[in-house]
Amino acid sequence: MVDAPPSRPDRTAFGADRLNGGSAGHDIARGQPAERAGSTSFLGRARRTGYGLLGSTAFRLSLIYLAVFAFFSGILIAYVYWNTQVIFYGQLVDTIEAEAQGLAEQYRIGGVGRLVQVVNSRTRSPTNTLYLVSDRDGTALAGNVSALTTGALERSGLMQINYQPYEEAEDRQHQALVHVFMLPGDYRLLVGRDIEERQRLINLLTRATLWGIALMIVLGVGGGYYVSRRVLARIEAISDTSRTIMHGDLSERVRLTGRGDEFDRLAENLNAMLERIEQLMHGFKEVSDNIAHDLKTPLTRLRGRVEAALRGAPDLAAYRDALETTIEESDRLIATFNALLMIARAEAGHSGISFAPVELSAVACDVAELYEPLAEETGVALCVTADTPVTINGNRELIGQAIANLLDNALKYGADGTDGTGRGGAEITVAVTQVAGAAELVVGDRGPGVPEADRDHVVERFARLEDSRSRPGAGLGLSLVAAVARLHGGALRLEDNWPGLRAVLSLPARGGSAERE
Amino acid sequence: MASGTERSTERSPVSVADRSNRSAIEARDGLCSAAMRILVIEDDFEAATFLVKGLREAGHVVELAADGEAGQALAEGGDYDILVIDRMLPKRDGLSVVSALRAHGVQTPALILSALGEVDDRVRGLRAGGDDYLAKPYAFSELLARIEALGRRRSPAEGETVLKVGDLELDRLAHRVTRGGRAIPVQPREFRLLEYLMKHAGQVVTRTMLLENVWDYHFDPQTNVIDVHVSRLRSKVDKGFDRPLLHTIRGAGYMIRDAEA
C-alpha cells in the first residue's frame, strides 16, 4: 500500500510530540509563581499596615514566622499543583495517543475513506473524544467538532485550542487538548479531548488555595501577634524586675509561673545569679568588716603601745620592750597582708604563676616531713600514705604552701582530739590518691571537726569559728588552700572524719610520667 | 622574737671567715672581721638610709646609688663584694641592671629586693642573674644574714668533702657525721640541715634560709616548724658534750660555731 509509509513518520512524530506535550504541562505548572507572588503581595500589605500599628518585637516576630511559614507552604502548594498538572496532562496525552494509534491503524488498512468511516461510526454515539478529518480546503469530512481556532489545522503536533462542539448551538467555546496529523494528499486528522471541566476544577482549586492563603495570613498575623505578645510579656516582666533590682535592693527576685518552661528556667537562673551576687556582696562586706577588725585591732594595739611608751618615763628598757613588741606586731600584720595578697593572686588566675608537672605525693611527703617533728612535739602522730606517684600540673610552691596550711590547721585544731576520749594519742593522716582523673590529697585529724553548716563558711577569708577566735591565726589558711585549689581547677572539700575534720584537696590529675619540677 | 635592731648590734662583731683560710671551713669568733664592700641600689631615700646605716653598723663598707643607671655604672666600675638591688628603680629596672651586668661579665653576687609579692617573682629574679631574692618588707637581720651568706658563697665550701666545726665533722661523700670521733646517726634531712649550717659556720642562718636551701620551699611556715627540726638536730649534735656548737641567735636564726676555737 502506498499510504502505509506515512504511519512511520507519524509514529515518530507522536513520540516527539509527546515530549512537547510534557513540556506544555511544565509551562502550565510554571503559572504557579505568579500566584505565589500574589500571596507575598498580600503579606506585604499586611506588613505595611503592621508597621503603622505597632513596631513591637511581638509584631515583628509574628511577621517573620508568618513569612517563613508562607514561603514554605507556597513551595508545598506549588509542588502539589505541578505534580497534579503533570499527571493530569500525562493521562490526557496518553489517551489521545492511544486513540490516534487506532486511527492510524485504520488509515493504513483503508486510507482516508476508511478513516472517515471509522470516525463517523465513533462520533455517532456520544463520546468525550474529539475527532475531525478534513481535506486540503479545510472542509470537514467527518468528526464532532464544528468551529475551531483558526489555523489550528495548519501545523501538526500537540496543542491547546478552542472549539465548538456540534451539540451546542450557542456560541460557546470549549477548551481542548488536541493532536493534529498531516496525512498524505493534504488531509488532516485531529484527535483530542475536551478539558473544559478539568480546567474549571483547577481554577476552582486555585481560587480556594488563594483564599486559604489569605485566611492563613490574617489568622497567622493575629495568632502570631497574640502568642508573641504573651511570650514577650513575660520577658518584659523579667526586665521590669531587673530594673527594680538595679534601682532598689538585691533581695528582689524574678517571679516564677511554676510551669517549669524556658522562662521559668531563665528566671530561676537569674534568681540564682542574684543569690550569688547578694552572697558575694555580703561576703565582700564581711571581708571588709573583718579586715577592719583583724588589721585595725593589731594596728591600734601597736599604736597604743608606742604612745604609752613615749608618754611614760624615759626608760631605755621600756623603750626597747615597746619597740620589740612593735616589730612582732608588724610582722604579724605583714604575714596577714602577704596571705591576703597571695589569695588575691591565686584567685586572679594564671597570670604570673608558672605551672609545671608536680609530683603531688613527693610534695606531700616533703611537707609532712617538714611538720613531723612539730607534730611529735605536740604529741600527735603524723601518718603519711603517699606511695603511688600522682602527677598534677601546677605550681609546686603554692601546692606546698596549701599542704602546709592544711597541716598547720590540723595541728592547731586537731591536736586536742584526745580530750576526754582517752584514745591514747591524736593522729593526723595525710594521704595522696588518684580517684578517676583527680589527684586527691587528704589531711584528716581527730579534733572537734567543723559542723556541717559551717564548712562553707570556714573557707572564707578571715573566717574563724567563734570558739576559736581567741586563738592566734588570721583565719586565712583555709581560704588560701581553697584559692590554690581553684587556681589549679580543683576544689577544697571539708568532710567529716568521724570524728574530726577531713580536708580533701582535689586537683585534676595529669596524664604521663611523673616528673619533678 | 627579738627586734631586728637589737640583732644587728649584737650581730655586728661576727663576720665572714677569713677568705685566705681555704683548707677547712671553720667558725671564727668573728673578730678578724673581713668587711665587705657593698653597693646598695635603692631609690627610696628612707629605706636606703636605714639599709646603709645598718650595714655600716655591721662593719661593712657601703656605697649607695639612687637609680638604675648610676647603679650599673658603679657596679661595673667598682670592686664590690655584694650588690643589693631594688627591683623597681628609676631610669633602669633592677632586673635589667642585673642581666646587663651579667652580660658584661660582672659576676658580683647580687641580692634582689622586691616589693612585688608575685609567686614567680623570685624565679624571675634569679633567672635574670640574681643570686638571692628577698621580698619587702623584710627584717634587717634576714637581709644581713643573706648578704653575709652571699659573700661567703665565693669561698670554696662547695668543693670541700669534709666540713669541720670544732670537733664536729661532716663527711659529704660518706654521708657520715662524727663528733670527737663518735659517730652521730642522722636522718637524710638532718644531714642536709647540718651540712648547710656547717657550710655557713660562723654565720647567722635564718629560718627562711633553711627552708629555702634545705627543703627548697619559699613560703613562710606559720608555726615554728624549723625550730623543732633544729632543736632535734641539736639534741643529737650537742647532747652529752660540754661545749655546745649549735647556737640560737635571738630574733634572727641559728649559727654553728666553735666559740673556743
Write the ipTM: 0.77
Same domain, B130 and B41: yes
Same domain, B178 and B66: no
pLDDT at B157: 57
- The strands making up B176-179's β-sheet, listed across from edge to edge, are B162-165, B168-171, B176-179, B182-183
**Nearest CA-CA partner of A145 in A133, A159, A157, A154:** A133
pLDDT at B98: 92
Same domain, B88 and B186: no
SS3 label, residue B87: coil
pLDDT at B39: 94
* C-alpha cell at position A399: 601546692
Residues recorded for chain B: 261
Same domain, B118 and B60: yes
Residue A336 β-bridge partners: none
Chain-chain contact of A323 with B224 (C-beta, under 8 angstroms): no
Q: Is B250 on the interface with A (CB under 8 A)?
A: no
**Structural domain boundaries enclosing B45:** 35-156
pLDDT at A415: 67
User: Does residue A123 contact residue A143 with C-beta atoms inside 8 Å?
Assistant: yes
* C-alpha cell at position A341: 595578697
Whether omega before B137 lies within 30 degrees of 0, making that bond cis, reads: yes
Chain-chain contact of B221 with A353 (C-beta, under 8 angstroms): no
- As a whole number of angstroms, the distance between CA A419 and CA A410 comes to 15
Q: Which helix (H) or strand (E) holds A380?
A: strand A380-385
Q: What is the DSSP letter of B132?
A: E
Q: Is A332 on the interface with B (CB under 8 A)?
A: no
Angle at B233 between CA B229 and CA B235, to 5 degrees: 120
Q: Is B159 on the interface with A (CB under 8 A)?
A: no
SS3 label, residue A507: strand
- Mean pLDDT of the residues in chain B: 80
pLDDT at A499: 80
Average the pLDDT over B223-231 and give the result.
87
Chain-chain contact of A345 with B229 (C-beta, under 8 angstroms): no
CA B151 to chain centre: 8
**CATH assignment of the domain containing B136:** 3.40.50.2300
* C-alpha cell at position A150: 483558526
Question: Exposed, middle or buried, B57 (CB in 10 Å: 0-12/13-18/19+)?
Answer: middle
Chain-chain contact of A401 with B4 (C-beta, under 8 angstroms): no
- Residue type for position A159: M
**Per the confidence metrics, is the pTM higher than 0.80?**
no
194-223 in chain B: CB under 8 A from chain A: 211, 215-223
- Structural domains of chain A ordered from first start: 7-202 (3.30.450), 262-348 (1.10.287.130), 356-508 (3.30.565.10)
The reply to whether B24 falls in a domain is: no
Same domain, B151 and B175: no
The number of domains in chain B is 2
Q: Is B232 on the interface with A (CB under 8 A)?
A: yes
Q: What are the DSSP calls for A70-88, one per residue? A: HHHHHHHHHHHHHHHHHHH
**Nearest CA-CA partner of A490 in A394, A414, A408, A410:** A394
Q: How far is B165 from chain A (nearest CA, A)?
A: 25
pLDDT at B8: 38
Q: Is A320 on the interface with B (CB under 8 A)?
A: yes
User: Does residue A493 contact residue A443 with C-beta atoms inside 8 Å?
Assistant: no
Sign of the torsion angle spanned by Cα atoms A109, A112, A117, A121: positive
The reply to whether B4 falls in a domain is: no
Q: pLDDT at residue B36 above 80?
A: yes
CA B152 to chain centre: 8
The reply to whether B168 falls in a domain is: yes
Domain C-terminal end among B109, B137, B156:
B156
Same domain, B78 and B139: yes
Chain-chain contact of B220 with A405 (C-beta, under 8 angstroms): no
Same domain, B75 and B185: no
- As a whole number of angstroms, the distance between CA A161 and CA A30 comes to 19
B260: pLDDT confidence band, cut at 50, 70 and 90?
low
Q: Is B1 on the interface with A (CB under 8 A)?
A: yes
User: Does residue A424 contact residue A381 with C-beta atoms inside 8 Å?
Assistant: no
Residue of A nearest to B116 (CA): A341
Question: Exposed, middle or buried, A124 (CB in 10 Å: 0-12/13-18/19+)?
Answer: exposed
- As a whole number of angstroms, the distance between CA A75 and CA B53 comes to 94
The reply to whether B215 falls in a domain is: yes
Same domain, B148 and B172: no
Residue A495 β-bridge partners: A502
What's the maximum distance between 2 C-alpha atoms anywhere in chain A? 156
pLDDT at B155: 56
* C-alpha cell at position B100: 646587663
**Nearest CA-CA partner of B244 in B191, B170, B132, B166:** B166
Q: How far is A260 from chain B (nearest CA, A)?
A: 47
- As a whole number of angstroms, the distance between CA A427 and CA A64 comes to 71
Chain-chain contact of A323 with B3 (C-beta, under 8 angstroms): yes
Q: Is A479 on the interface with B (CB under 8 A)?
A: no
pLDDT at A474: 53
- Facing A408 at nearest CB: one of B5, B222, B232: B222
379-418 in chain A: CB under 8 A from chain B: 395, 397-398, 400-401, 404-405, 408, 411-412
pLDDT at A39: 39
User: Does residue A390 contact residue A432 with C-beta atoms inside 8 Å?
Assistant: yes
Q: Which helix (H) or strand (E) holds A148?
A: strand A145-148
- As a whole number of angstroms, the distance between CA A118 and CA A100 comes to 12
User: Does residue A484 contact residue A404 with C-beta atoms inside 8 Å?
Assistant: no
Domain C-terminal end among B156, B173, B204:
B156
Q: How far is B85 from chain A (nearest CA, A)?
A: 21
pLDDT at B197: 92
The reply to whether B19 falls in a domain is: no
- Facing A324 at nearest CB: one of B2, B137, B222: B2
Same domain, B64 and B174: no
The reply to whether B25 falls in a domain is: no
- As a whole number of angstroms, the distance between CA B178 and CA B171 comes to 8
Give start and end residues of each alpha helix (H) in A349-463: 360-378, 396-414, 455-458
Q: pLDDT at residue B154 above 70?
A: no
* C-alpha cell at position A413: 585544731
Q: Is A283 on the interface with B (CB under 8 A)?
A: no
Q: Is A105 on the interface with B (CB under 8 A)?
A: no
Q: pLDDT at residue B32 above 60?
A: no
Same domain, B102 and B215: no
* C-alpha cell at position A12: 515518530
The reply to whether B14 falls in a domain is: no
Same domain, B172 and B123: no
pLDDT at B146: 92
SS3 label, residue B210: helix
Chain-chain contact of B137 with A327 (C-beta, under 8 angstroms): no
Domain C-terminal end among B136, B156, B176:
B156
SS3 label, residue A129: strand
* pLDDT per residue as tens, chain A (517 positions): 334 444 344 443 333 333 333 333 343 334 344 334 433 333 344 344 434 445 667 777 777 888 888 888 889 888 888 888 888 888 888 888 888 888 888 888 888 888 888 888 888 877 778 888 888 777 778 888 777 777 777 778 888 888 777 666 566 777 888 888 888 878 888 888 888 888 888 888 888 888 988 888 888 778 877 887 788 888 888 888 888 888 877 778 888 888 878 888 888 888 888 888 887 787 777 777 767 777 787 788 888 888 888 888 888 888 888 888 888 888 888 877 877 777 777 777 666 678 889 999 999 998 999 998 888 888 888 888 888 888 899 888 889 989 998 998 888 877 665 444 444 467 889 999 888 888 999 998 887 777 777 777 776 655 554 444 444 455 678 888 888 888 888 888 888 877 888 889 999 987 644 433 3
A55-59, B29-33, B49-53, B143-147: which range is least confident on average? B29-33
Residue B171 β-bridge partners: B162, B176
Residue of B nearest to A348 (CA): B118
C-beta atoms surrounding B37 within 10 Å: 15
The reply to whether B77 falls in a domain is: yes
Q: What are the DSSP calls for A382-412, one per residue? A: EEEE--S--EEEE-HHHHHHHHHHHHHHHHH
Same domain, B127 and B170: no
Q: How far is B138 from chain A (nearest CA, A)?
A: 9
- Residue type for position A409: N
Q: Is B116 on the interface with A (CB under 8 A)?
A: no
Q: What is the DSSP letter of B174?
A: T
- As a whole number of angstroms, the distance between CA A246 and CA A233 comes to 20
User: Does residue A416 contact residue A426 with C-beta atoms inside 8 Å?
Assistant: yes
Chain-chain contact of B215 with A477 (C-beta, under 8 angstroms): no
CA A201 to chain centre: 46
- Mark residue B16 as left, alpha or beta (left: phi above 0; alpha: psi -120 to 50; beta: remaining): beta
**CATH assignment of the domain containing B227:** 1.10.10.10
Q: Is A244 on the interface with B (CB under 8 A)?
A: no
B254: pLDDT confidence band, cut at 50, 70 and 90?
very high
**Nearest CA-CA partner of A129 in A107, A101, A156:** A101
- As a whole number of angstroms, the distance between CA A301 and CA A372 comes to 34
- Facing A397 at nearest CB: one of B6, B119, B139: B119
Q: What is the DSSP letter of A504?
A: E
